[in-house]
Amino acid sequence: MRTIGVAIAVPEPFGEQLRAKRRSYGDTMAETVPSHVTLVPPTEVDDAQLGRLVEALTQVAAIIPSFRMTLQGTGTFRPISPVVFVAVSEGISVTELLAQAIRHAVDLPEPQFPFHPHVTVAHHLDDESLDRAFDDLSDFRCSFEVSQFSLYFHDDEQGWMPERSFRLS
């Protein structure tokens, strides 16, 4: 078994800016979790099914066009989950369509919570640190073209590592 995830990477220099902020709040996951918008959350997959997974992701990428994404402002999942995030404000509908197409193509169960595209910037920290992240990044804004998504494998020592990228049509 292997733990996989599928995500849109936040390109540089924006990804590093968000990781640096995450580090400044004391979030240790800044070192092992690249800045990203999750399409498929961490999921256990049998190694024998990886070929089928890659084939399905290739097929989805072939039917979804590239699109513009804007990240702007902050939000939180508190009190349900101790998370502060930067919100996707442009490209939401295409991101939702992409996530749904991937879940359907690889026959994954529906997520536990409704899909909400975002970039986590603080996770499992004390309330003061979460509040600081929420306030510090409230005026953050960046835009970029999304031309691919990636399959990530989780490694216990190195964290989340991109295994393969899939270019959108």
- Tell me how many helices (H) and strands (E) the chain has: 4, 8
Could you read off the pLDDT of 35-79 as tens digits, one per residue?
Answer: 999 999 999 999 999 999 999 999 999 999 999 999 999 999 999
Could you read off the pLDDT of 73-128 as tens digits, one per residue?
Answer: 999 999 999 999 999 999 999 999 999 999 989 877 777 778 889 999 999 999 99
Using pLDDT thresholds of 50, 70 and 90, give the confidence band for residue 137. very high
pLDDT of residue 36: 97
pLDDT of residue 111: 74
Q: What CATH number is associated with residue 133?
A: 3.90.1140.10
pLDDT of residue 144: 98
List the domain range (segments joined by +) for residue 108. 2-167
How many domains does one find in the chain? 1
pLDDT of residue 107: 79
